[in-house]
Amino acid sequence: MTSHKAIVSGISGRYAVALFELADAAKALKEIETDLVTLKAMIEDSADLRDLVVSPLYSRQDQQKGITKVAEAGSFNDLTQKFLGTLAANRRLDQLLPIVASFEKLLANHRGEVSAEVTSAQELTKTQLADLTKKLKSAIGRDVAIEANVDEALLGGLKVKVGSQMLDSSLKTKLDNLAIAMKGVQ
């Protein structure tokens, strides 16, 4: 397996590695993954929870009480609950979303998957995502986990980023390149 340092870095990476290794040792990777996906959705859906997690105005005790209630409400695994308590105690709840992202990278690497960031002008349908996943898998030779994003400024087409490689076939980029080429004609 590739070194964790090659996959994630920084404070969020260190916490994600610690959680990953504890979950792996406890044979609870799937449960922790489910908890983190649920928690990420909860944070995205609730402005109050997002504020609790990122605002330095809440005291350590308030953050611990709040995140404990959230973990209990979500029926999270004991390891997840302890981890969230540790983050609150260390005043690192503001790193929670980057930690989740780093954990997802570690998990994908553990499964032998490659992560691909796909940005499109409109939300892709399940069929389009399945087709894209299949094509990327055949091109790369490994399973691909797609993180789909929408950016209406692209106008059309896709931007696909796999590792350090990027394929930009967006209409916006093509128009920008055309404008640059036209300036050279004048």
Three-state SS letters, 122-162: CCCCHHHHHHHHHHHHHHHCCEEEEEEEECHHHCCCEEEEE
Query: What was the pLDDT predicted at 185?
Result: 65
Query: What was the pLDDT predicted at 6?
Result: 58
Residue 44: domain span: 4-108
The model's pTM: 0.71
Query: What was the pLDDT predicted at 4?
Result: 61
Residue 160 belongs to domain with CATH number: 3.40.30
Residues 28 and 94 in one domain: yes
Query: What was the pLDDT predicted at 1?
Result: 45
Residues 40 and 98 in one domain: yes
Query: What was the pLDDT predicted at 146?
Result: 84
Residues 61 and 143 in one domain: no
Nearest-angstrom CA–CA distance, 106 and 4: 7
Query: Pick from 61, 86, 108: which residue ends a domain?
Result: 108
Query: Pick from 56, 91, 108: which residue ends a domain?
Result: 108
Collect the ranges in the chain with pLDDT lower than 50.
1-2
Looking at the 3D structure of the chain, how many domains does it have? 2
Question: Torsion angle of alpha carbons 108, 55, 41, 46, nearest 10°?
Answer: -170
